Amino acid sequence: MNKPEILIIDDEPQIRKLLEIALESSGYKVWQAASGKEGILMAANHPPELILLDLGLPDKGGQEILKELRLWYNRAIIILSVQNSEEDIVLALDNGATDYLSKPFRTGELLARIRSAMRRNQGEDQNTVITCGDLQIDLVARTVKKQAEIIRLTTTEYNLVAFFARNEGKVLTHRLLLKEIWGIGSQEETQYLRVFVAQLRKKIENDPHRPEHIITESGVGYRFN
């Protein structure tokens, strides 16, 4: 079987080496680029399944490379950023990044994000019933079951959970959620989001204070597992 190919664009040789070992030992084929320019060329000559892109590249800003790649490359791009840069992360997600990881990150986390992003590469999930842990979301019957028991949800709560489920494992920015569920363009109205997420957690989480399904990504958005 062909190994899935991953392109790493990062100027730090140590990080590239580390990623290379971690990824190759997990069954991926790894290509490396030390600069944005080189990375774009390599991706164009031989499009990989997924690109790991460092946001802090010296030659061109990571955001620029991301935009350039997104003109023609439609598979997963996971960006690597540093701590305290929520703003950059949100911008990168708006610019088309699939997901992000803040350095320093754990290898397990990296592999989980890659698997989740690769799954989404296979195209939109055609399943009409999505299972996430003990939750079962039926997009045709518009029902949500927890351990086979139907949970009563309002329309907005259902829309929210359905949108979350269709983007399982992916980080969703506040702006995107507001636009999708309420059609609100501004980022100012997040209080709706807060209230509905809190309500939804009470209904679908085992312990709403230790959420396992709707995870808060501080300063960025939510992730549904």
Partner 1 sequence: MRSASGKIWIQYVTGICLVLAVAFACYSFRGVLEYKLTALLLLVTVSVLASIFRILPVLAASVLSALILNFFFIAPFRTFHISTAEDLLLFAMYFVIAPVNAVFTYKIRKTEKKAREKEEKEKTIRLYNTLLNSLSHELKTPISTIIGAADTLRENRAALTPGQTDELFGEIQQAGFRLSKQVANLLNMSRLESGFLELKKDWCEISELVHTVINRLSEEASAHTIHYQEQQDLPLFKIDMVLVEQAVSNIIANALQYTPAGSVITVFATHQENNCVITISDNGPGFPEDKLELVFEKFYRLPDSGTGGTGLGLSIAKGFIESHNGRIVLKNKSGGGAEFTLEIPAETSYINNLKHE
By the criterion CB under 8 A, which residues form the site for partner 1? 83-84, 86-87, 104, 154-156, 174, 187, 190-196, 198-199, 209-210, 216, 218-219
Q: How far is the CB of 219 from partner 1 (least distance, A)?
A: 5
Distance CA(79)–CA(98), nearest Å, equals 8
Q: In degrees rounded to 5, what are phi and psi of residue 40?
A: -65, -45
Closest separation in Å from C-beta 113 to partner 1: 19
Q: Which is nearer to partner 1, 73 or 100 (CB)?
A: 100
Least distance between partner 1 and beta carbon 122 (Å) = 33
Between 28 and 222, name the residue whose CB sits nearer to partner 1.
222
CB of 141 to partner 1, least distance (A): 21
Q: Which is nearer to partner 1, 64 or 87 (CB)?
A: 87
DSSP letter string, 70-90: HTT--SEEEEEEETT-HHHHH
Q: How far apart are CA 222 and CA 216, in angstroms?
A: 5
User: Which amino acid, one-letter code, is at 87?
Assistant: E
Nearer to partner 1, 34 or 101 (CB): 101
Minimum distance from residue 180 beta carbon to partner 1 (Å): 15
Query: What are the phi and psi torsion angles at 102 (to 5°)?
Result: -95, 130
- Give me the residue label for tokens 């790493």: 8
Instruction: Tell me whether residue 196 or residue 224 sits nearer to partner 1 (CB atom).
Output: 196
Burial level of 125, CB count in 10 A (0-12/13-18/19+)? middle
Burial class (CB in 10 A: 0-12, 13-18, 19+), 85: middle
